Structure 1
Amino acid sequence: PSRRLARAADNFGKGRDVSNFKPEGATEVRQAAQAFMAMRERIQRQITQRTDMLSGVSHDLRTPLTRMKLQLAMFKNVDGVDDLSADVSEMEHMLEGYLAFARGEGTEKPAPTDLGMLLEDVVGQVRRRGRPIDLHLEDRLSLPLRPNAFKRCVTNLVENAARYGQHVSVRAGHRGDAIEITVDDDGPGIPEDKRAEVFRPFFRLDDSRNPETGGVGLGLTIARDVVRSHGGEILLSESPTGGLRGRIRLPL
Structure 2
Amino acid sequence: MRRQNVMENETLKTLESLRSVHWNFNEKPVSREDIETIVQHSMKAANSDNLTDYSVIVVTDPEVLNTITGGESQGKAATCLVYAIDQTRILRCAKALGYDQYQPLHRLYNFFIMLGDVFAAAQTAVVAAKALGIDSLMTNFSHRHHPKEIMKLLNLPEEYCFPVIQVVLGYSDRDPKQTRGRLPMKHVLHYDQYQPASEAEVQAMIEEMDQVYPEYISDQYKHALDWYFNEWFIEWYDEPTYRELYECLRNSKLVYEPD
TM-score, normalised by the number of residues in structure 2: 0.23
* Higher relative strand content: 1
Higher relative contact order (CA 8 A, sep 6+): 2
TM-score, normalised by the number of residues in structure 1: 0.23
